[in-house]
Amino acid sequence: MKQTLKRLTPAPLWNAARATYDALARLPDLGPAYLHPWRRVSMRCLAALKDIHRGERCFIIGNGPSLRHTDLTKLRVETTFGMNRIYILFPELGFTTTYFLSINDLVIEQSASEILALPMPKFLTWRSRRFFPSNLQPSTLNFLYTTYTGPNFARNAAGRLWEGATVTYVALQLAFHMGFSQVVLIGVDHSFVSKGEANKTITSQGDDPNHFAPNYFGKGFRWQLPDLDTSEHAYRMAKAAYEADGRQVLDATVGGRLTVFPKVDYISLF
């Protein structure tokens, strides 16, 4: 029925109706997302971070197997965003990323104590507040109001950010908010050995072949299969937003399959 109605409805009208429906569905979240004490602290912190890195470059580090073929020691003096379970790599590297970001409920639920122990500024989805004690003092923990619906590219991270089916897209919005003029992606392989329905939750049965370490999503870890089509749509929105503001996103992933951003040789950047 839904598909039939979609075929019969002019695309602009259908898109407007869908956007209105999504906005109405988000209404119950608006109060806590903007008025809860934790979020108010986070919004003040995010306001202080606006354009703090104006004109600088940063690296957004994905977690693909290609990281094992990337000389990460060159990033020691760079500004970096690490995501999800990147911290598994920190002892080997001998340094941490500048910032940390995670928006996936399953990742945060199963890694909350490890994430809290990280020393750098951390950015988590507002939904994940339920995984933390009610007496939590936010300090280095910033809650982002991220949503599954309502495609957009947020230029101010204190408001709503669309997730675009990948934490990397949220990192791109956060980097834009902070003012970076050049963002370099590495480890964003944009390919997975594990196949199946997009966003389906599965439980790992053994070593993880999709990320840089076999214990990244090791045996027993619950995770969601990727939605690469939605991610590509989001990446195109990010590319347009950066270029419209005279900034750029480059892809230095070794052997990566993402084709949205201009490719660059990683070693040539240093």
The rounded percent of the chain whose pLDDT value lies above 70 is 89
For the cut 80, the answer to whether the pLDDT of residue 25 exceeds it is: no
Give yes or no for a contact between 236 and 156, defined as CB atoms under 8 angstroms apart. no
* pLDDT classification of 133: cutoffs 50, 70, 90: confident
Give mean pLDDT, residues 197-203. Answer: 96
CB contact burial 167-194 (16+ within 10 A = b; e otherwise): bbbbbbbbbbbbbbbbbbbbbbbbeeee
Question: Taking all residues of the chain, what is their mean pLDDT, rounded to a whole number?
Answer: 91
**Which pLDDT does position 136 carry in this prediction?**
78
What tokens appear for 21 in the block? 């429906």
**Which pLDDT does position 140 carry in this prediction?**
78
Give the C-alpha separation, 62 to 74, whole Å. 16
* pLDDT classification of 134: cutoffs 50, 70, 90: confident
pTM of the model: 0.91
Q: What is the pLDDT of residues 155-168, one digit of tens each?
A: 999 999 999 999 99
Q: What is the pLDDT of residues 234-246, one digit of tens each?
A: 999 999 999 999 9
Give mean pLDDT, residues 45-50. Answer: 97
**Which pLDDT does position 99 carry in this prediction?**
98
**Four-CA torsion 193, 196, 251, 115, nearest 10 degrees:** -90
**Which pLDDT does position 23 carry in this prediction?**
57
* pLDDT classification of 144: cutoffs 50, 70, 90: very high
Fold for 15-269, please state it.
Answer: sialyltransferase cstii, chain A (3.90.1480)
**Which pLDDT does position 173 carry in this prediction?**
98
DSSP state string for 181-193: SEEEEES-----S
- Which SS3 state, helix, strand or coil, does residue 31 take? helix
Give the C-alpha separation, 172 to 195, whole Å. 26
Q: What is the pLDDT of residues 69-114, one digit of tens each?
A: 999 999 999 999 999 999 999 999 999 999 999 999 999 999 999 9
**Which pLDDT does position 135 carry in this prediction?**
81
Give mean pLDDT, residues 141-153. Answer: 96
**Which pLDDT does position 14 carry in this prediction?**
42
3-state helix, strand, coil in the chain (%, to 5): 40, 15, 45
**Which has the closest alpha carbon to 86: 96, 71, 76?**
96
For the cut 80, the answer to whether the pLDDT of residue 120 exceeds it is: yes
Q: What is the pLDDT of residues 210-262, one digit of tens each?
A: 999 999 999 999 999 999 999 999 999 999 999 999 999 999 999 999 999 99
The rounded percent of the chain whose pLDDT value lies above 90 is 82
**Which pLDDT does position 9 carry in this prediction?**
62
* pLDDT classification of 153: cutoffs 50, 70, 90: very high
For the cut 70, the answer to whether the pLDDT of residue 12 exceeds it is: no
